[in-house]
Structure 1
Amino acid sequence: MISRMRNIVQHNLPAKILALVIAVILWGYVMNDQNPSIENTYTVQLDVVNAPEGYKITKDASNVKLRVRGPRSLFVSASESDFKAYVDLSKVEEGKHAVKVQTVLPQGFELVEAKPDTVTFTLDRIVQKKIKAEFIVTGSTAPGTTVAHVEPSVETVTIEGAESDIKEVTRVIGYVGLAGNSDDFKLKVPLTAINADGREVAGVTVKPASAEVSVQLARGLMKKVVTVKPILGDDLASGYEVGTVKSDPVKIEVAGPEDILSKLSSIETQKISLDGLTKTTDLNAQLAPPDGVTVTNSSVTVHIEIKAKKKTASGTASP
């Protein structure tokens, strides 16, 4: 049996080898000429895997262009959804990092180029901070009435967001509209985190997002506009001095009995601590009205110029 099989294999062996060579050549011709290798480009979404929790993650690219090569026949049924691009953030820590783009291709394709081949990621830690909420009264009440007291349901709130965004927040404010009311009233006031320019800081969440504010009105009081007088503490660090001090607003409307207001030309703030200040700063200051006098807004912003004292020839700061 074995001998018979050997005879069959060896019979006309040169012709069989020649036929095999011709078949391989023909197969190569068909594959290379009739089904050649070509290239195409697909734009795919960049996926992120193993992203660490507790961070705001931003990237400088959301899509990747993949240039791939493969037999023409494979492109007939291929679509963008068959190609994947991703980055693995399992070993990435806080800060800015360039991360290599990884790809997953269908069988038979090879990657020619990924553009971009690296993507810059920034990981910003999510933090919380407590801050005093300010309530600004706008508009006016009905004729013959004035605001006697504004009582919000919260005094401090928690802001949450990326650490870089939280550092931008200087105030959390809510606007209390009087809307011509003639009686005591309550309203729900949204709270907004803003920066030094008075613009909302995007990406920062205020908790709670709103406060209920009770507004008490009074009748028979006289109204008057007086100057705001900032009162500064004496705890400024040595080597520094105070320059210009200005409140915002400069003047404010107060209400009270005529015998008190007739003698009142200004209203002071509570003492403002300068401890730790080494540069020009805007601070929130509470007003300190005299007994019997009410103010619509109980706080103002005080701009305080802080500058280093000039050194004398001996190297000491001038007094």
Structure 2
Amino acid sequence: MDKWLKTPWFIRVISLLLAIGLYVTVSLNEQNATRPDGTIFPKTSNEVATINNVPLQVHLDEEKYVVQGVPQYVSVSIQGSTSVVEATARQRNFDIFVDLEGLEEGTHEVKVQHQGISNQLSVQMEPETLEVTIEERATSEFKAEVEMLNYEDMDDGFILGEPIISPETVSVTGSKSEVDKVAMVKAIVDLTGVTDEIDIRNAPVKVYDQQGNELNVYVNPSTVHVQIPLEVGRKEVPLTYTTTGELGEGISLESISLEQDTVMVFGQAEVLNGIESIDNLIIDLTNITEDKTIELVVPIPPGVTRVEPITVNATINVEPTETVTIENIPIQVTNLEDGKTVSFIEPEEETVAITVFGTAQQLKDISEEQFSASINVEGFFNGEFETVIDLKGPDGIMMKPNYNNARVRIE
């Protein structure tokens, strides 16, 4: 035994074990110096983390209902071991939700719930409960109009044309009470800095009530395409009309008056320079049987971008037809060749009687001096000929002669 203890290998093994023991003792003393409780072995750490802006899901029959009072995001605080807390905060592989399934319309207090968070963690949400209002869902179609901002900042030389919106209508979805309040649907266009034709492909759509308050509803599409041409000139021109068709038997035209006799045309200067009036406004008398006011669309001349107003009212007054006969109107002969003579075969008297139709007011001052009759024999040679009797009388008066044609002999 003594011999074995004195061997070099035994001394080396004992030295190694003593060195290891000394190292362990020194290391534990240094670690324990940093621990408040002075324990030798480390404890598992406990960490708290707050995760902000976590989307809040809503479990609801969205085909039937909408809900108010639900925030878009909540904050989630988790507490537990460092490794689990850090992994959960980093991955966010969990859901935060309120379950409204099975609840009827009305106001309810509901708990904010979570799913997918480790049961090793304690969880607290802010807010923990919500007061929500469930209402019947409604959807309606509305025509969108353009609302222009900062119009006063535009150059005075620019004139805005008629806006073109695509699509023209949008769907508004929300609670029935909110949708019922919709009074205006506006596509917002900011005119600041505009120097050319406006072409905005994503103009935001806003929905307002009668008082101009923006409503909390969903709009589809939420943006629209708005185009507004810029016009560089305008010109006021006279507006006149022509009539077509005839009034029915027994009534005569007393008067036609336009709501206004001038309109404003818009367009490029070179186009406006060639426009002196709009005279192709057509009034059809065919179906007029009594005094009537009709709305007419103002024709837009070629090259003009628009007219204002786009329609005018025309007031048509009619009266029962009366007649007056003017006798013995002499028939004048025009363009007879020198040295020729003409004699009338029919009518022998060389006169016509003209029956005049009109209202009592129109016929009140009718006289023989206002009428004339003539035939044109230019190019006629010797012989007998029939030619049209040309009548002249006051404008707007209907006339009917007892002879439409005259038969004459030229020698």
Q: TM-score range by the shorter chain?
A: 0.3 to 0.5
Q: TM-score under structure 2 normalisation?
A: 0.32
Q: TM-score under structure 1 normalisation?
A: 0.39
Question: Which protein shows a greater Rg?
Answer: 2
